[in-house]
Amino acid sequence: MNNLLLYGITIILLFLSFIKDKKKTKKALKKSWKAFENILPQFLGIIMLVGILLAIMNPEIILSLIGEKSGWYGIIISATVGAITLIPGFVAFPTAAMLLEKGAGYMQIGAFVSALMMVGIVTMPVEIKFFGRKLTILRNALAFVFSFLVAFVIGKVVGGI
């Protein structure tokens, strides 16, 4: 549904662009291709790496580490797992829901979801290419630390701890 919308908008804009100025449209598509080709090696590498990491880490392993009683130790582990992996939301959320059902703590899941979204260790090579080393490391480090605050607030509000 979301993809359909994205494609719809893109096709309409591309069509309008083509009607208005063929040359400019061609130039735009050339730029699109160049930007894509520029980043393709990293994209491919990351997809492979994530596939391998996800295969190695299964829910049982994760669950044994982040149970409700695991405390701050479990929160650190959840945030670390979230930071390293790059799981698409439509896989991550049902997995998180399942982990909660099986006894993971709210704080741990909060840290996991927040780190998963904001921190991207495996995508750092791409980020460095655009933002440089310093800003990339700093952004990811700040986001990682912030995940603990998210864990704390989620624990208070949702978990009632």
Partner 1 sequence: MRHIKRYKFFIITIIVMIILNLNSGNLGVKAIQNVGFSMKEMILIIPPVFVLLGLLDVWVPREIMMKYMGEGSGIKGVILAFILGSAAAGPLYGAFPIAAIFMKKGVKLSNIFIFIGAWSTTKIPMFLFEMTSLGMKFATTRLLVNVIGIMLIAYILDLVTSEEEAIELYRKAESN
Nearer to partner 1, 30 or 72 (CB): 30
Q: Which positions from 36 through 75 interact with partner 1, judged by CB under 8 A?
A: 36, 38-39, 41-52, 54-56
Q: Structure tokens of 134?
A: 């310093």
For residues 7 and 67, what is the distance between their CA atoms, to the nearest angstrom? 41
Look up residue 117 and give its DSSP letter: H
Task: State yes or no: residue 142 binds partner 1 (CB under 8 A).
Answer: yes
Among 66, 104, 106, 107, binds partner 1 (CB under 8 A): 106
126 binds partner 1 per the rule CB under 8 A: yes
Residue whose CB is less far from partner 1, 75 or 150: 150
Distance CA 140, CA 117 (A): 11
- Alpha-carbon distance 132 to 126, whole Å? 10
Using rule CB under 8 A, residue 28 touches partner 1: yes
Coil, strand or helix at 67:
strand
Under the binding rule (CB under 8 A), the answer on residue 79 touching partner 1 is no
Alpha helices for 21-123 (secondary structure H): 22-56, 59-65, 71-84, 89-101, 106-118
Using CB under 8 A as the binding rule, whether residue 161 contacts partner 1 is answered as no
Residues 8-27 that bind partner 1 (CB under 8 A): 9-10, 13-14, 17, 24-25, 27
